[in-house]
Structure 1
Amino acid sequence: MGLSLKDVFERTRISVHYLQAIENDEFSLLPEPPYAKNFIRIYAHALGMEEKSILGRYENYLHSLKILEDVPHEEDVGHKFSPAVISRYGIFLGIVLILLIMFVVMKLVPMQYRPSSEAGIDRAAMETSINVASEKKDITVEQKVDKVASPGAEEEQIKAAAELAYEQAQSTTVPAAKIISPKATGGSTGNVPQTVNEVKTSRLVIKAIEETWIRMRLDQNPTFQILLKPGQEVEYKAVVFNMDIGNAGGIVIHFKGEKIENLGKPGEVISLRLP
């Protein structure tokens, strides 16, 4: 028909990345099988092609993956536990042990010849350091347990996990705009330092009415995928949200105080950018 990938994208609203993967039979680049098959059907109908031929090649690809998973890797197992490998690790552990003993001896021997007053000061400082480190570790563990393992419904656990993953990404890529969840701090923000030029983020809440696959990118962070079941709800904070939605009629979005629904028909694939 002489259509370019851009023309097919305008007709199907399927990402050019996935269209090219279908065209080149690079099925490993497609999402989960239910959504990949839906993309293939939409692609075939848009070009007036027979969908059975493409779906047949995709089924053969899935079958080959299953065969590869069932093949036992005896050579890898034998190599992993071969005498040469065990000997190599034994030598490495022996060297580490010798270095550790030398380090301990070098630290302990000079301490025996120092005045008792200096030794007492160092011992007290060491005990203080150990106590402080132990307290910090206990606080960190309690915060994580309160945030991730707190009793509640499955929706709350998914929301907490999403917030934790996003906070870790934000603290790595943009330290000045680190986000601290009120759940982890117990609602107290008095000791949290504020930045002068902090980037203003928006809150996005997605609630699933039907099972929906979503491919998301928050600001400049790496792209990730989620699969929501009916009734599940997730929440993210960012400046810009880019989404590929596999079931436009299967979700309701709350963004900046507004409720966004009826994004498309059930099963329709769309791309959405907010704001």
Structure 2
Amino acid sequence: MSRKIHLTPSQGEKLRELGSYLQEIRQKQALSLEEVSQKTRIQVRLLRAIEEANTDVLPEPIYIRALIKQFADALELNGADFASAFPTQYQVKPMKPAWRESTPTQLRPFHLYWIYIAVLVTAVSGLSMLVQKSNLQLVGDNSPGDTVAPLSDETDQPSSQQTSPTIAAVNRLEDSLTAANLPENNPPLNNRVVVSMKLQDDCWLRVVADGVVAYEGILNKGEERTWEAEKSLKITAGNAGGVVITFNNEEARPLGSPGAVQTVTYQTPNPQS
């Protein structure tokens, strides 16, 4: 069962006008609806509905305009200009803005602003008192009863006995950092696998560090990469001659022959192919 469409008064009036004109031109050319249907591939019932403005059979307005264009073209009329006279716009009912439906209960109660201001004033007052108390303690620590050793007339630098606790703490921190960075505290290089490479040509690479894939992809000529592992590094290259390897700071050398697919596993202390 076809769905009946609802046209606006202007659409209905224009459809009757255009349909009547098309029927008149068709009859003057002595064409039947079947012959027009063969030219346009439009069903006869739709052509008849256009001529009679029968909306019970016709589709939506946008499709009616397309049917009118094809009908007019079959009658050797300018279909595009002819069909443009049929309006396709719908009557849109204005929607009420959603913000107009908001209720007064959604607004923030005014008394909450006063509570917020009171809390803010209390916090500021407490912070001010805390700062004043800290200043009083600092003044008390520097009271006249404390004795400060004067600097020597012979030098402007303080002696070791005059070094403040803060400076002493900084010196201890620097000593600990220096000790932590001493070479003897770092793990020796021969306990790790370090492989550096420089690409002499584009090459596909797959690097597996301690059984985990660390890289897989294409590196371009001129790129440099370094990988480290605890036990082993397995490198597979699609163009072994384009990869120059440096293992644990040893002499650099190509991974293999140019264009060859090569897989090399580096372990401590010596590499193994």
Q: Same fold (TM over 0.5)?
A: no
TM-score w.r.t. length of structure 2: 0.30
Question: In terms of Rg, which structure is larger?
Answer: 2
Q: Which has the higher contact order (CA 8 A, sep 6+)?
A: 1
More helix by share: 1
